[in-house]
A and B are shown apart, each in its own frame.
Chain A
Amino acid sequence: MKDGNDCNGVPVTEIKHERSEMSKKPEIQEDVWIRTQCARCYADCAIRVRRVNGVAVKIEGEPDSDMGSRGGLCAKGLAALQVLYDPNRLKVPLRRTNPEKGLYVDPGWKEISWEEALTEIADKMKKVLDDDPRKLQMQYTTSRAGQNGTLFAFKRLFGDVKEQRYFGGHAGPYFSAGGGGLFCGQGAHEIGGLIWASWSIVPEFERCNYAMFFGSNKGTGSGHSSNMCMRRAAQARVRGMKTVVFDPQCNFNSGKADEWVPLIPGTDLAAALAMCNVIVNELGIWDEVFLKTKTNSTYLIKSDGRYVRDEKTDKPLVWDNSQGEAVVYDAKSIPDYATACTIDYALEGEFEVNGVKCQPAFQLLKEHLKQYTPEMASEISTIPADTIRRLATEFAQAAQVGSTVTIDGHQLPFRPASAIVFRGGQGHENSYHTCYAVALLNLIVGSCDVPGGTVGWPARGLGYPDTGKLELPLEMGKDGLLEFHHFGASGPIIKRDGPWPVHMPENHHHLTMTDIFSMALQTFVPTAEDREELWAKNQVDYRIEMLVSWGCNTIMSLANPQVAEEAYKEIPFTVVFELFSSELAEGFADILLPDTCFLEESNFAESIGCNFNYPYGMEDWYFHIMQPVVEPQYSRRNIAVVMWEVAKRMGLTERLYDTLNTVYNIADEYKIEPGEDLTTELVCDRVVKTLFGPEHDWDWFKEHGFVSWPKKVEEAYWRYFVDCRVPIYSEFLLDIRDKMEEITKEIGIDVDLNQYTPLTSWFPCTIHAEDIPEYDLYCYSYRDTLHTGSHTMEQPWLDEASLMNPYTYNITMNRDTAKSKGINDGDVIEVESPMGYKVSGTVKTMEGQHPLTMGMAACSGHWGKGMPIAHGKGTNFNTLLSFNLQKVDPIVLTPENCVRVKVRKVERS
């Protein structure tokens, strides 16, 4: 019997058993541990996998890395073994033989050769791209987020795309499909980028004493850095951090909270604004140093809402109290906290500059907030006014404005209070303003990227010490605001623009309409109810002719399937790369290709989510790689390799090599030369050598799994080390509004431009304003900790847990509400939206559910044949949603994730 070695070279001995049949044990020829990364959600946790006799038998969290739980791993990650060995996985390329497409249509799959598939894809794609690259749509999901780079390379490879921007545009073939469905963090990412230079935000759990969450499960097994957050939040709870969670349901984060604050979906904005008002106008608490030096609070605003600008430099002016005159915002350089403390620009008052009357932005904000009384917010949200007032007070006091802490010789503000919003809070027609209002809570008390406060996934990096690579610079951009170019997953390598400076709306008649909605990450238009109307009005003279979909089941996760059905049917040629025959594939794919699973892939990209998943706060920098634990079986192929082959067949060989070198910023000495045998390992090797030097080649990484280096205070708590500001006043929205007004008038579409206002304001959603009393409940979907997107219900271990859980597969209702309707646990109900969309499911009543709401776990209700374990489990919430221009946030295009419904008990069929 041979023993293997683990990744440290430490021998791993065979498993011993308590039973007496040791003699019957198989001969162990191989027993090794392989370090890699998980990809069952977008958290990219570091893992190690044990392989015995060629079979992956065990996964655990990597104990030696902060990028995860330091040894622990959630059930979704553990269940990856059942993805790898699922007999339902696609094995060979398949072609649809049934010419009919549609939701429940049998595709009549027939096996074809790779040769046949590649030839047809290359031919079709060449025709489409020669005609108009906009006719190609490519989509993927964030559980393939590390492969973001791969997809971005496709965008450059196949499209006419020079720009590297996240927001707006989308002229070429590109359409990311979003993690948890329904455009996951649309508004949250925009505000995350604008205020924190980060994809998302989190309390710095090590020092935070008071964390307030609005519809976010960070710390309880969902979201970015899922396992890392679980580890750090748990420690914080034991340390005594108080957690307050605004959520219609007392389940995940709310279930762990010290205080659960139930509310009506989409009213988080009202509550957050009222708390801002209490803090500023009732308590008179704000962080003067922060507001004066780190925000545009001091910028002088004219009566037209615009900045007062310096005539010569066009820079916004501030009022310098010490000089008694207006100066440009950067008249004094503010390189550190000590200097910041000496700045005395006016936050309040009224001034006259060059004959123009003006006020500092903060003065306007302070006045503006007065209308949002706790009483008003209470009426909207149902949260008692006293509770709002008390929580605002607790939050503001917990922030300890004025206190400091010294870390590694740097004296910094200590602000141990944090307010966080994510998918639940932001999934509404007021997404942008909701995220902004929560950001304001942090901005007012100065708890941004300082010890104890709200931090981004590390936005600032000084680079890997030996090479200086992976530097993540932050700079003072236009009007003194925070600018950076490493946004989102793969940002550090691919260099993508952050939200500032914002793009102005333009109309190029794209069917995505993200040229017009220039602050949107993704678009609802291609699968909307009113798509033809919008396209007709906007004179969109082309349609999607080819869809390449990768690992995402958008018919379930991103749209109302009944509405999207026609849209997908209209696409003449659809290619799907998948692990399983998904609902999207069964209904609409012409060619279905067997993708590799992450345990069969080489990839550096899973690690490059700086704004995504690198350890935040003072935990060190880590860079992990993904490597195959087993070789792909049958004729499964990795999408990158397949698409490279397609490119070659399209005559794009030269462009392919150039694209890879450019997109991955490969150093000159490691450039991939035409003629070299292109493999994922080769690309990975060149990238890691570029970043970490020649001694850290791919073989080194395969052996060690990751590299780490210490983080500095200037990186973890960068706010006072970077002389730049963030907006509390969105002056830019005025310019965008003017342009939007022009465009929307011209094409005759109705967009609520009132939301394009510089001061964060309460905007009700359609669900709040509709006068339809018989639709008496607010129905919404939520992320269950056991599931990511729509694949995880296929893994039997997760299915067993979901069946054991009282809520996962059921529709949750408040117990008294259910009782008043004669509904009990286990009853089957039909849920109907005002548009007549209907779904049914089994009820589980809860005390921990707001009486006016009901919840369903997202992305459930599989109907396809390709995932038999998932089939029929749960209820598909999205089927209830209306998907049109009036049901999205008019700034960032977040679809409304909640719908008014009525319910009735039906007989179990």
Chain B
Amino acid sequence: MTRWGMVIDLRKCVGCYACMVSCKQDHFLPPNIFWNRLVVGETGKYPTVTKQLYPVLCNHCDEAACVKACPTGATSKREDGLVSINYDECVGCRYCLIACPYQQRTYYSNGKKEYFPGQGLTELELIGQELYPLQPGTVVKCNFCMERIDQGLAKGLIPGADREATPVCVNACPPKARTFGDLDDPDSEISTLIKHRKGQQLHTEYGTDPSVYYIIR
């Protein structure tokens, strides 16, 4: 079986926000909707301080709380581990927003929200609504660039190895902090990274078994 996952190497991440912006660009996401975010903070006490950078996205959990919470079946887990939303079946009840312990879901309410308020939708926003339409009144989140994976596989490409079949945030990361691949393959690059550099999931106490791992040091 295949289970798609991601490793984010925090030793490499510099907090440049390329993940967040590339995702917004590729999916033509409207204002204030983020499928990738960067959490910035610090720990310690002066002068022994550690800056903390956590790029976060949907964890595509194996035991996904959102899937259990969805009353219509719009949110489901695919065989390859991706947690996806069928917008046609989503009724916008937002139970999943509350259920997701990682706060990775957003309710998309307004299809007319402009990046330049009061100045109309730009050419870029207009073509975006055609090329990558979202449905107002539904919940949205990171889909691990499912369309790239599916299309890539159909062409015989390997997600994580071939750029065209790999999530955009992985491609866009300037310090190359992100690695994508098959968690079920013990020899995959991400499995090796998790093993040798002690990849950790966020909040294992939630029991959700995320597919996104972080390398701390």
The interface of chain A, by Cβ under 8 A from chain B, is 13, 15-21, 24-26, 52-53, 55-61, 63, 68-75, 78-79, 81-82, 84-88, 219-221, 226-227, 230-231, 233-235, 237-238, 250-252, 254-256, 260, 262, 785-786, 796-798, 800-801, 804-807, 814-816, 846-849, 851, 868-869
Contact = CB atoms under 8 A, between A and B. Distances in A.
Contact of A26 (B38, B51, B130, B177): B130
Contacts of B177: 234
B173 interface: yes
A235 B173 CA distance: 13
Contacts of A13: 151
Given A250-B42, A262-B47, A846-B42, A75 B20 contact: yes
Q: Which 9 A-B pairs have the closest CB atoms?
A: A255-B51, A234-B175, A234-B12, A72-B174, A69-B174, A848-B49, A230-B174, A85-B122, A75-B17
B132 interface: yes
B1 interface: no
A367 to B, nearest CB: 34
Interface residues of B, number: 62
A15 B131 contact: yes
Given A237-B12, A804-B38, A87 B122 contact: yes
Given A797-B25, A848-B51, A25 B46 contact: no
Interface string B75-91: 00000000010111000
Contact of B38 (A57, A72, A79, A801): A801
B22 A60 contact: yes
B171 A251 contact: no
A800 B173 CA distance: 18
Nearest to A817: B46
B175 A72 contact: yes
Given A87-B120, A234-B177, A250-B49, A848 B42 contact: yes
Contacts of A807: 40
Interface string B164-200: 0000000111111100000000000000000000000
Given A13-B151, A797-B24, A52 B131 contact: yes
22 contacts: A18-B84, A19-B88, A19-B135, A57-B127, A57-B128, A57-B131, A60-B171, A72-B173, A72-B175, A79-B21, A82-B124, A85-B122, A88-B119, A221-B14, A221-B174, A230-B175, A231-B176, A234-B9, A234-B13, A252-B14, A800-B31, A848-B44
Contacts of A24: 130, 133
Contacts of A785: 14-17
Contact of B163 (A71, A227, A238): A71
A812 to B, nearest CB: 11
Nearest to A260: B49
Given A221-B16, A785-B15, A227 B132 contact: no
Contacts of A57: 25, 28, 124, 127-128, 131
Interface stretch (B92-100, B142-150, B202-210): B142-150
Given A82-B115, A815-B46, A73 B133 contact: no
B37 interface: yes
Given A78-B25, A801-B17, A801-B38, A69 B176 contact: yes
Given A55-B127, A234-B9, A797-B21, 13 more contacts: A16-B151, A18-B147, A20-B88, A56-B124, A60-B171, A70-B176, A221-B16, A221-B174, A230-B16, A231-B176, A234-B11, A255-B51, A262-B46
Contacts of A88: 116, 119
Contact of A233 (B22, B26, B84, B175): B175
A84 B124 CA distance: 9
B163 A847 contact: no
B171 A71 contact: yes
A806 B42 CA distance: 10
A205 B150 CA distance: 37
Contacts of A250: 42, 49, 51
A253 to B, nearest CB: 9
B130 A25 contact: yes
A807 B53 CA distance: 13
B175 A17 contact: no
Nearest to B127: A55
Contacts of A255: 15, 42, 51, 53
Nearest to A806: B40
A79 B150 CA distance: 27
Contacts of B124: 55-57, 81-82, 84-85
B64 interface: no
Contacts of A85: 122-124
Contacts of B173: 69, 72
B88 A72 contact: no
Contacts of A56: 124
Contacts of B49: 250, 260, 846-848
Interface of B: 9, 11-18, 20-22, 24-26, 28, 31-32, 34, 37-38, 40-42, 44-47, 49, 51, 53, 84, 86-88, 115-116, 119-120, 122-124, 127-128, 130-133, 135, 143, 146-147, 150-151, 163, 171-177
Contact of B46 (A19, A69, A801, A851): A851
Pick the most buried of B32, B53, B127: most chain A CB atoms within 10 A of its CB.
B127
Contact of B116 (A87, A848, A849): A87
Contacts of B44: 847-848
Nearest to B53: A255
Contacts of A256: 14, 51
Nearest to A55: B127
Contacts of A848: 42, 44, 46, 49, 51
B18 A75 contact: yes
Contacts of A19: 86-88, 133, 135
B17 A786 contact: yes
Contact of A52 (B13, B127, B176): B127
B174 A227 contact: yes
Pick the most buried of B13, B28, B31, B51: most chain A CB atoms within 10 A of its CB.
B51
A87 B172 CA distance: 26
A61 to B, nearest CB: 7
A267 B20 CA distance: 37
A86 B51 contact: no
B14 A230 contact: yes
Contacts of B119: 87-88
B175 A69 contact: yes
A74 B173 CA distance: 7
B67 to A, nearest CB: 16
Nearest to A849: B46
A59 B15 CA distance: 19
A104 B177 CA distance: 44
A82 B133 CA distance: 19
Given A19-B87, A849-B46, A234 B14 contact: yes
B116 A868 contact: yes
Pick the most buried of B26, B47, B143, B176: most chain A CB atoms within 10 A of its CB.
B47
A10 to B, nearest CB: 9
Contacts of B25: 57-59, 78, 81, 797
Nearest to B116: A87
Contacts of A68: 174
Contacts of A73: 18, 22, 172, 174
A873 to B, nearest CB: 14
Pick the most buried of B15, B32, B128, B150: most chain A CB atoms within 10 A of its CB.
B15
A21 B11 contact: no
A815 B86 CA distance: 46
